[in-house]
Amino acid sequence: MHFPEIQCSIDDFRPAARVYLLTHFHTDHMRGLKKGRQRGRIVCSAETAALLAEINATPLDDIVILEKNHTASFTECGRRWTVTAHHANHCAGALMFLVETVDRRILFTGDFRLDDEIRATAAAIGPVDLLCVDCTYDRPQYRFPSQDVCIDRILDAVRVNPDKEIMIGIYSLGKEKILEALFRTFKQPIYMTKDEFRRYKAIGLDRLATQNRGATRFRAYAMGFFGKYFRANPDRSLVVIPTGWAVDRRNVPAGFLYVPYSEHCDYDELCEFKRIVKAGQVVPTETR
């Protein structure tokens, strides 16, 4: 979303701007981002900054680190404006942004999953002129159990398969709460490939991970790995796919467990959030 009047672009590096706000380190929010130096400064959390530096070779002096509940101010084109970061309950380092100019208040959620902290924040923010909201699951068929219920379902499935290799679908970043729960419960790290390990190391979560396959029965792979060419062996392994899209899944293959664990709001949560934040205009930022 581009706001040329204040030289600001949010989760989109394609427009020319002097300030880029980046909610989190997922590629669909980083379109147009170049390796190395950018055209303008990037405002993000410390975790996202570490990933930008490690994975994208972004110079740290191009980055303004903004922690949640903190505000930064800028003056562009003679207009002063501020941005305040808020908790988003998505992947590690994810933020929402409240942008305030002299005549407009804009809340840009990025990807988020409603929780009590977000409810309180949304109530405190009050009415906004423009709400740019993550609408990934904005249809009534998408109703998910809580993340805790989904994690318990995964832990139970692991317990009843004590001799199997457990394979888990992850994104480049995200699903960290599941890996934390497995690590805490079964006292084994999660094997991951070099690229994934690098990301976890950058954000200080490498204690959960190992690159030694022999050290653990848990393996994390990108979701795409389990697509067309992967052949499950139900006698040897259990494949856990944690995603909100599990709701749409019919005919689950043997050896797979689809769990509707989501790091986005479900339909009811999205409706509730929009009731709390009264907005003059609502623009969806993510649709399938």
Bridge-partner residues for 108, per DSSP?
A: 97, 132
Q: Cβ 132 to Zn ion, closest distance in Å?
A: 14
Q: Cβ 134 to Zn ion, closest distance in Å?
A: 8
Could you give the dihedral angle defined by the CA atoms of residues 232, 233, 235 and 240, in that order, rounded to the nearest 10 degrees?
-20
Q: Cβ 154 to Zn ion, closest distance in Å?
A: 20
Closer CB to Zn ion, residue 26 or residue 177? 26
Q: Which stretch binds Zn ion (CB under 5 A): 9-17, 19-27, 96-104, 191-199?
A: 19-27
Q: Does the footprint of Zn ion cover residue 47 (CB under 5 A)?
A: no
C-beta of residue 264 within 8 angstroms of C-beta of residue 243: no
Closer CB to Zn ion, residue 26 or residue 217? 26
Q: Does the footprint of Zn ion cover residue 266 (CB under 5 A)?
A: no
Closer CB to Zn ion, residue 174 or residue 189? 174
Closer CB to Zn ion, residue 39 or residue 87? 87
Residues 26 and 107: their CA atoms lie apart, in Å, by 19
Q: Does the footprint of Zn ion cover residue 134 (CB under 5 A)?
A: no
Residues 207 and 284: their CA atoms lie apart, in Å, by 37
Residue 89: both structure tokens together: 């309950």
Residues 131 and 274: their CA atoms lie apart, in Å, by 9
Closer CB to Zn ion, residue 112 or residue 226? 112
Give, as ranges, the residues between 74 and 133 that touch Zn ion (CB under 5 A): 111
Q: Does the footprint of Zn ion cover residue 26 (CB under 5 A)?
A: yes
Q: Does the footprint of Zn ion cover residue 12 (CB under 5 A)?
A: no
Closer CB to Zn ion, residue 169 or residue 189? 169
Contacts with Zn ion by CB under 5 A lie at 26, 111
